[in-house]
């Protein structure tokens, strides 16, 4: 492993330790000494990578914001297909990498946390997935693949279900089938078919 690769691996190790602790204890309840201990490094080395706890938090939020923008890059045949394709990809990735689920929980908490600097709380809340997905709901209502109803409420229902699943993700609890989640949105007229909607 090159020196650059070692440095990047160490940075990821610190980020993962901080993510775990911020989810477990909150931002205010987490000390830099706990992060360095969890990462298996000295506190001095932690500060070499991240001069303050706030800069480490900002790095995590930027990673989360980038991940939250992922649904905006999906192409789909219709409204329901968008939700199916995204849910399928998300569950596949979360099953392989539990940090994805922790990031969902982290971003949800940070966007509402009062102990986080306001600029970072606003950054965490800057990607409005519920608002963005209401457009896919409307498209699905127009093409007949998604049930009638308030688009923002249906989008919110979907995201609440996804967030709840990510919060409960554990090795002993299997992930639901994407079809089950998408079924909440599905039009009664249109039977759901996983391959080809």
Residue-wise pLDDT for 109-163, tens only, equals: 888 888 889 999 999 888 888 988 999 999 999 999 999 999 999 999 999 999 9
User: Which range among 24-28, 32-36, 136-140, 157-161 shows the weakest confidence by mean pLDDT?
Assistant: 24-28
- Given a contact cutoff of 8 angstroms between Cβ atoms, the answer to whether 61 and 110 are in contact is yes
- Name the CATH topology of 1-51: Arc Repressor Mutant, subunit A (1.10.10)
* pLDDT-derived band at 47, boundaries 50, 70, 90: very high
Q: Enter the DSSP assignment of 116.
A: S
Tell me the two tokens of residue 197.
């909607």
Whether 38 has a pLDDT exceeding 80, the answer reads: yes
How does pLDDT run across 49-107, given as a tens digit for each residue? 999 999 999 999 999 888 877 766 677 888 999 999 999 999 998 888 888 888 988 98
* pLDDT-derived band at 194, boundaries 50, 70, 90: low
Mean pLDDT along residues 157-183: 92
Domain boundaries, the chain: 1-51, 58-197
Q: What is the pLDDT of residue 193?
A: 57
pTM: 0.81
The domain 58-197 is placed in CATH, from the list 3.40.50.2300, 3.40.50.1950, 1.10.357.10, 1.10.1040.10, at 1.10.357.10
**Secondary structure of 128-193 in the HEC alphabet?**
CHHHHHHHHHHHHHHHCCECCCCHHHHHHHHHHHHHHHHHCCECCECCCCHHHHHHCCECCCCCCC
* pLDDT-derived band at 108, boundaries 50, 70, 90: confident
Q: What is the pLDDT of residue 19?
A: 94
């Amino acid at each position: 492993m090159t020196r650059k690769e070692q440095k990047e691996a160490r940075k990821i190790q610190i980020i993962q330790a901080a993510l775990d602790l911020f989810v477990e204890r909150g931002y205010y309840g987490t000390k830099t000494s706990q992060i360095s201990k969890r990462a298996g490094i000295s506190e001095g080395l932690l500060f070499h990578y991240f001069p303050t706890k706030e800069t480490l938090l900002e790095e995590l939020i930027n990673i989360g914001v980038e991940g939250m923008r992922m649904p905006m890059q999906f192409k789909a045949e219709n409204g329901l297909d968008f939700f199916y394709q995204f849910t399928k990809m998300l569950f596949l990735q979360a099953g392989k990498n539990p940090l994805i689920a922790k990031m969902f929980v982290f971003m949800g908490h940070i966007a509402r946390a009062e102990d986080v600097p306001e600029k970072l709380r606003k950054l965490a809340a800057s990607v409005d997935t519920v608002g963005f997905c209401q457009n896919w709901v409307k498209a699905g209502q127009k093409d007949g693949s998604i049930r009638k109803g308030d688009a923002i409420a249906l989008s919110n229902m979907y995201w609440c279900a996804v967030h709840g699943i990510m919060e409960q993700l554990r090795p002993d609890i299997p992930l639901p089938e994407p079809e089950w989640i998408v079924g909440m949105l599905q039009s009664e007229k249109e039977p759901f078919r996983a391959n080809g909607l």
